[in-house]
Amino acid sequence: MNKLLKKTLKIILPILLGGFILYWVYRDFDFSKAEEVLLHQTNWWWMLLSLFFGVMSHVLRGWRWKQTLEPLDAHPKTSDCVDAIFVSYATNLVLPRVGEVSRCGVLAKYDDVSFAKSLGTVVTERLIDTLTILLITGITFLMQMPVFLRFFEETGTKVPSLVHLVTSPWFYVVLFSIIGVLVLLYFLLRMLSFFEKVKGVVLNVWEGVMSLKSVKNIPLFLLYTVLIWGCYFYHFYITFYCFAFTEHLSFLAGLVMFVGGTFAVIVPTPNGAGPWHFAVITMMMLYGVNATDAGVFALIVHGIQTLLVIILGIYGWLHLSLVNRTKQNP
């Protein structure tokens, strides 16, 4: 019963959180305006180009993942890697953050790739992606600092408070306490009878993490990373040209909103629903777009991009089943 309750809560709580934030953001919104824009005022050619970049970001991520698996003597089919990415993003809509685990399960099932080792490569990927978005954020912040400072003021986030937190001795007390707990857990695990099994799993994950050191073509890996994030950005930025009220927004404005939206989706809601809308709408208003138009933009763009994730997930699942069934039954 407890397991069923936990699984249920894992599904329901993110949906409730996203739903609450969406309700708060759109509580006085006129949805007929969004319907009018969607049906009669949207440039679908630009939207299709945006969706192309969305698809390519997943494809490139699948290619990059295959490259990081090769040093582990794992050689899954390229199509399986891409399909696993499609499925993982769709899974995240139901269970945020579980998608990364699900794609490792896909390769374990269809390509006999070690689950623990492939999970290690996913950890490595996410570390690289984190460094990339931090670099993009740093550059964007320096170029558009006044906008970010206004955003902090509008949302009640005080920069001096953040500085005080980091410089406070209590911050480091908590930090070292967490480190101490982790160290304690490590030594407790060593005392448990099943530690050797756990240790084996951890070592396999670690081997996957360190696979990047043995990647044959580092320039290609870096190119994939740049292209992936370039596709993410243009998947968002090109949607500005879909609407008359956003087509005037600059490249830098797109970068600012892209960064804000990327950090917003860290909150575990389905595809960032709620936090992403809040961040994009708030930042768009700082660039002179009125609240209603900003709300319409966020609602339509997020809705269509979420629909794309669902379609790709269904395609990936069907393609995996069909291709591998054909292989088993020639």
- Whether 287 contacts 247, CB under 8 Å: no
Let me know the angle formed at the C-alpha of 40 by 39 and 41, rounded to the nearest 5 degrees.
110
What pLDDT, on the 0 to 100 scale, is given for residue 212?
A: 60
Mean pLDDT of 186-204: 46
**Predicted confidence (pLDDT) per residue in 89-144, tens digit:** 999 888 777 788 888 889 988 988 888 778 878 888 888 888 899 899 888 888 77
What's the predicted TM-score (pTM) here? Answer: 0.81
- Pair of tokens at residue 217: 């073509």
Mean pLDDT of 163-186: 49
Band (pLDDT 50/70/90 cuts) for residue 211 is low
Q: In angstroms, what CA-CA distances link 91 with 86, 177, 270? A: 9, 34, 9
**Predicted confidence (pLDDT) per residue in 300-318, tens digit:** 999 999 999 999 999 999 9
Helix axes 291-328, 275-286, angle to 10 degrees: 140
What pLDDT, on the 0 to 100 scale, is given for residue 311?
A: 97
What pLDDT, on the 0 to 100 scale, is given for residue 294?
A: 94
Q: Residue ranges of the alpha helices (H) in the chain?
A: 2-25, 31-40, 44-69, 78-94, 99-110, 115-143, 145-154, 159-167, 169-191, 195-209, 218-237, 251-264, 275-286, 291-328
What pLDDT, on the 0 to 100 scale, is given for residue 229?
A: 96
- Whether 261 contacts 236, CB under 8 Å: yes
Average pLDDT over the chain, rounded to an integer: 80
How far does CA 241 lie from the centroid of its chain?
24
Band (pLDDT 50/70/90 cuts) for residue 152 is low
Range among 37-46, 168-177, 183-192 with highest mean pLDDT value:
37-46
**Predicted confidence (pLDDT) per residue in 254-290, tens digit:** 998 999 899 888 877 888 888 899 889 988 988 889 9
**Predicted confidence (pLDDT) per residue in 30-89, tens digit:** 899 999 999 999 999 999 999 999 999 999 999 999 998 888 888 899 999 999 999 999
What pLDDT, on the 0 to 100 scale, is given for residue 84?
A: 95
Closest CA to 35 of 295, 315, 308: 295
Query: What is the distance between the alpha carbons of residues 286 and 271, in angstroms, rounded to a whole number?
Result: 24
What pLDDT, on the 0 to 100 scale, is given for residue 254?
A: 93
